[in-house]
Amino acid sequence: MDVLLKGGTLRGTVEAIASKSHVHRLLICAALAKQETVIKNIIPSKDILTTADCLEEYLAQIKRYGDDLSIRPYPRPKAKPLLNCTESGSTYRFLVPVACAKGVPVAFTGSRRLAERPLSPLYELLCEHGCTLSEQGVFPLHVKGKLQPGNFLIDGGISSQFISGLLLALPLLTRDSTIQITGELQSYPYIKMTLDALKTFSVDVKEEGRIFYIKGNQHFISPGNIHAKGDWSNAAFFAVMGAFSPEGITIQGLRQNSLQGDKAVLDILATCGATVTWREDMVAVKRNVLRGQKIDAAQIPDLVPILAVMACAAKGQTVIYNAQRLRLKESDRIETVFRMIRSLGGNIAVTQDGFIIQGTGVLQGGTVDGANDHRIVMAAAAASCICREPVRIHGAEAVEKSYPYFFEDMKKLGAFLEKI
């Protein structure tokens, strides 16, 4: 599907959707409990449905009632399931260590780039601690054996998802374990989200510096009903569009004290000159003079596509650095962000670990290849607000991965768009 956007200033109020990252974690914790859990306020994106489908094939009965999901764990895991993780890295990297902890043979498969995205050093750690995994990078991945407790020494600079997967799995083991982080810890806010989800289900993990202490033989206890938290990662696109608007955009349903790292978008926008105003659970972002900045992307890699668009509207130079992990996302985002900005007439150069962008205030417009990447599609759509000419996006259906109603919400704010 192509989408054609004719630009123009957006204004109004939009409701933040449920955090995909939060819901992934809640679903898995709920499936590991013994009692029913109801997760409320869920938008059924492809990634969330993927996790739900995998859990239903393996650990729990899951039913949808409107925007709510009911999770009822099975008395015991299903035998030899085949879990299709489609393109969801979170589903894959969380459930592989959980399967090892459960000790029931499981096969994993997926599509597109998922097999190419790294599983090391988690792969080697699981093998060192009693499990047998088939060849890495080839689907199906067969997991056998029972994970043994101990000390898990892991590089924190590859993916925080590996650490989150271990945190979800190790409380199920019979004895205590530790996770010891080496190297620079990237995307730490996502680990904090995992710890928060575990705490919600009464699982105790102690953190001291770079070591996590996990008691064995713990039980996940359902809190009953739980509301999914608003998603800062997707709200960031509307926050940046608000920074292009003299009347501004208000986003409802976000928490100022959220653990989500991508709430940093507001500090970045304010530092660049946008007007940011909080009122209870609503934040309004309005246009002011934007100026280029240096932006460290180490803890906020998912914000880079939309921050690159913001940089084009700012005066002067913006440098985005520590973004090298973008090459391992749904697309090679170093390449696809570069192509997106260049396709729209922006001035961007690739560096060893990010970009240098010379702000031009406006972009020309043009055609963008969505690269089967939801964040590239949404960033290109946001860029249409500062384009002189229409923007056409190929493969716009990629938004269904995380935000299936994204274009409908843009239209509510006054966007002129048509699906082709």
The pLDDT value recorded for residue 87 is 92
The residue type of 24 is H
Could you tell me where in the chain the CATH 3.65.10.10 domains are found?
3-17+230-419, 20-215
Q: Which residues contact 208 (CB under 8 A, 6 or more apart)?
A: none
Which one is catalytic: 302, 353, 369, 409?
Answer: 302
On the question of pLDDT at 76 being above 80, the answer is yes
What does the pLDDT read at residue 17? 95
**Region 177-184 average pLDDT:** 95
Whether the per-residue pLDDT at 116 is higher than 90: the answer is: no
Candidates 1.10.275.10, 3.30.300.100, 3.20.20.100, 3.65.10.10; CATH matching 20-215: 3.65.10.10
Residues 66/50, Cβ–Cβ less than 8 Å: no
* pTM score of the predicted model: 0.93
CA distances (Å), 165 to each of 5, 191, 198, 375, in order?
Answer: 39, 10, 12, 23
CB atoms within 10 A of CB 257: 5
Measured in degrees and rounded to the nearest 5, phi and psi for residue 383 equal -65, -25
For domain 3-17+230-419, which CATH number applies: 3.40.30.10, 3.30.1780.10, 3.65.10.10, 2.70.40.10? 3.65.10.10
Which pLDDT score, from 0 to 100, does residue 331 have?
A: 79
pLDDT tens string 224-277:
999 999 999 999 999 999 999 999 999 999 999 999 999 999 999 999 999 999
Question: Which candidate, 291, 333, 297, 285, places its Cα nearest to that of 312?
Answer: 291
- CA dihedral (120, 124, 129, 131) in degrees, to 10, reads 90
Q: Does the active-site annotation cover 47?
A: no
**Residues forming a β-bridge with 367:** 392
pLDDT at residue 330 is higher than 80: no
pLDDT on residue 381: 98
